[in-house]
Structures are given as C-alpha cells and as structure tokens.
Amino acid sequence: MNTGREATGNTETATIYHNPKCSTSRKALQRLRDEGVEPTIVKYVDEPYTREQLEKLFADAGVTVRQAARKREALYKELDLDAASDEKLLDEMVAHPILVERPFVVTDKGTRLARPLDKLDEIL
C-alpha cells in the first residue's frame, strides 16, 4: 500500500484512503486538489487495510478504534460490534474495510480522519 508521493505542482505529499462512493471522501479529494495537492489515492475497499496500517492511522490521527468505526453501517449492527472488544472490532475492520470511517488523509503535516472536512485545515 502506498504511503504518499510527491504531489504534482506542490511539494506537499499526501495520501487519501478513499471510497469513491462516499460524498465526504469525494469532497476531501477535491479539497486536496483545490489546494494544489494531487494525492496518492488508496481505494481501501479494493486494497484492504492491514491491522498494522489501521493501528498506525488511528494512532497518528489521534482517534480510537471506536471513533474510527462506522457505527451506522448495517454490518456493524449485524456483527453486534457495540458489544465487542476493541480487538474484535479492529479484526472486523480489517476483514470488512467498509466498517472504517473515511476518509483518512495523510500529509507531511499529519494524519486526520477528515470528518468534518475542516479537519483537513490542520494538515494542509
């Protein structure tokens, strides 16, 4: 999985963990491009996370496993993840990347879960 690259026309490097079906993820990608940053795009549904990648993203973004979970996702409820340990939740996030909130954005200045989108201001 890519971790970032030199952006075209800008010295900033960035990676977005992107789901093109998500409007917030699409808006975050557009915001990066509007700032002159052409990020590495990781379509995490096609290129699933490893446990280590998720642990690093969450730690770097300052979010917990629970804060990074899509609790409104039907699968979250089906798997009864409210009652699960954080370890079990993380296992399920690796197995089912749709359970991970999006988008995570990594730049030279830090990592953020870009929800709300103005979180990007902290790392651009």
Under DSSP, is residue 112 helix (H, G, I), strand (E, B) or coil? strand
Q: Could you read off the pLDDT of 19-29 as tens digits, one per residue? A: 999 999 999 99
Q: Could you read off the pLDDT of 59-102 as tens digits, one per residue? A: 999 999 999 999 999 999 999 999 999 999 999 999 999 999 99
What Rg do the C-alpha atoms of the chain give, in angstroms?
14
Would the pTM count as exceeding 0.85?
yes
The whole-number pLDDT of residue 9 equals: 47
The whole-number pLDDT of residue 8 equals: 41
| Options 22, 45, 84, 117, the catalytic residue | 22
Q: Identify whether 72 is a catalytic site residue.
A: no
Domain boundaries defined on the chain = 14-122
Which tokens go with 84? 């699960």
114, 120 in Cβ contact below 8 A?
yes
The CATH number of the structural domain formed by 14-122 is 3.40.30.10
The whole-number pLDDT of residue 63 equals: 98
110, 117 in Cβ contact below 8 A?
no
